[in-house]
Structure 1
C-alpha cells in the first residue's frame, strides 16, 4: 500500500480518535501494527495531531479570540483581570506547564519505551476504568466559570499523563474534571482548549524529525495525513459536544477496555509485536 493511502487511513484515524476519550496516539500505534505497516513514529503522530488542533481553533474561534484578547487586555488594564476569559487565559497557560516540562524532560523515553504495546493495552484498560468511575461519581455541580487555579493545575497534571500512549489527553483531563465536579460539557470543552498549546508545541517540536531517516513517512504523506485529520476532527468535535449533552462516557469506557484487552490477547498470542 502506498504511503499516501496509509497516510489517508492514519489521518482519518487521528481525526476520529483525537477528541474522543480513547487515545489517538494508542490507535496510531496499534492499527498500523495490525495492518503490517509498523510504528509510524512519535514525530508523525505529533505532527498529524496539529491538524486536529487546527480544527479546535476553527470550531472554537470565537471563544479563543475572546479569551486571547481579554487576557492580553488584562495585562495592562486592571478592570479586565476579573473576567472569566482573562482567568481562562491564565488557567490554560498554567495548565499547559506540566505536560510541557515532562514532555521535554522525558522526550527519549516517550518516543521509545512508552510506545510499548503491552503498556498501551494496559493503560487503555486502566484509564478507561478511571474514566468510567469519574463519570459515574461526578456531581455535575460546576461549570467552566467555577474553574480555579488549583483545578486548572490538577487538570493540567492529568493531561500530562497522556504522554503515555493509551491514556488519552481528553480522557485524562475529562476524568479529572468530572472527579472535581464539573459538568460533562464543561470538562470536555476545557479539555479541548487546554490541549491546544501542548499539541501545537509538540508538533512543532517534532517537525525536524519528519526528515530523519528513522521516520516512516516523509513530509508529503505527513502533510496529507494532517489535512485529513483536520477535516475528520472538525466533524467529530461537533458530534461529541452534542452527544455528551445527553449521554454518559460509558460507551467509550467499554470500547477502551475491549480494545486494551484485545491488544494484550494478540500480544500474548504473538499476532502483535510490542
Structure 2
C-alpha cells in the first residue's frame, strides 16, 4: 500500500468504528470503488489495535470502576450499579462471540460485496432513524437490565454482516430498549472493547498462520492514525449526540446506499 492508502484506510477505520455508519463496510469500499488492493491481515490488526487503544484510553476511569466493582461483586458480594453494568457488558458480548464463531467464514464468503453493503446500509439506517424518532429515551445506562443487555447483544451479533455497523445496530437496540442517546452510545462504546479485542485476536491468529511478510511501517502508521481519529471521534460524538440526534447519520447512510446501488447497477 502507498502512504496515502495507509493513512486513508486508518482514518476510515478510526472514524467509522464508533460512528453508526459501518467501519467494515467502509473498509471494503476503497477496493470495490477505487481498485485498491486488499489491505491484508496485518493492517487489519494494526487499525483494530489503534481503535481499541482509543476507546480504552477514553473510558479508562469507567473501565477501572467496572472491573473493580465486578471483582467486588464476585469475590465479596458487594453489588452496585457499576458491578451490574459490568455484568451487562459481559452478557451482551456473548451472542457476538457465538455468532462470530458460527458464521464468520460464511459471511466473509457470501456477503462482502458492494450490493450487500448498500442494502444493509439503507435498511439498518432506516431502523436507526425509527429507533431514534419513536423509542422512549428515558433510561440512563445504569437502568439497563439483563434482558435489555441481551437484546443489545443479539443486535450486535448482526454486525458480522458488512454494512450493518456494530456501533449503529447496538445504538439502535439501546434506543429501542429505552436508553437515552448518550447512554445508548456509551454502552455501545463499552461493549466495543471486548468485541474489538476478540476480533483483533482472531485476526492475529490468522496472521500468525499466514506466510505473508509483515509491513511494520504500514502497521505503525495504521495504528497511529486509527488511534487519533477514533479518540477524537468518540469525544466529539458523545459531546454532540444529545443535541444533533441520529438523523445526520441516517441521511448519510441513505445517500451512501443509493450511491452504492448506482455503482452496482451501472
1:1-274 mapped onto 2 (5 Å cutoff): 2-40=1-39, 44-45=43-44, 47-78=46-77, 80-81=78-79, 83-210=80-207, 212=210, 218-269=215-266
Taking the aligned partners of 1:33 and 1:210, their CA distance within structure 2 comes to: 23
Task: State the superposition RMSD in angstroms.
Answer: 1.8
Residue by residue over 1:33-66, the C-alpha shift from the partner in whole angstroms, topping out at 9 and shown as x without a partner, is: 2222044357744652231121110001000100
Residue by residue over 1:223-268, the C-alpha shift from the partner in whole angstroms, topping out at 9 and shown as x without a partner, is: 4212210111101111001111211110100100110111111011
Q: Which moved more, 1:111-120 or 1:37-46?
A: 37-46
Alignment CA distance shift 1:42-1:133 (3 Å): farther
Alignment CA distance shift 1:268-1:14 (3 Å): same
Displacement of 1:181? 1.3
Alignment CA distance shift 1:43-1:239 (3 Å): same
Q: What is the total number of aligned residue pairs between the two structures?
A: 265
Q: TM-score, normalised by structure 2?
A: 0.93
1:272 — aligned with what?
Answer: none
User: Following superposition, which runs of at least 4 residues in structure 1 exceed 4 angstroms of deviation?
Assistant: 41-44
Q: Structure 1 regions of 5+ residues with no counterpart?
A: 270-274
User: Does the 8 Å CA contact 2:82/2:142 hold for their aligned counterparts?
Assistant: no
Taking the aligned partners of 2:25 and 2:194, their CA distance within structure 1 comes to: 21
Higher helix proportion = 2
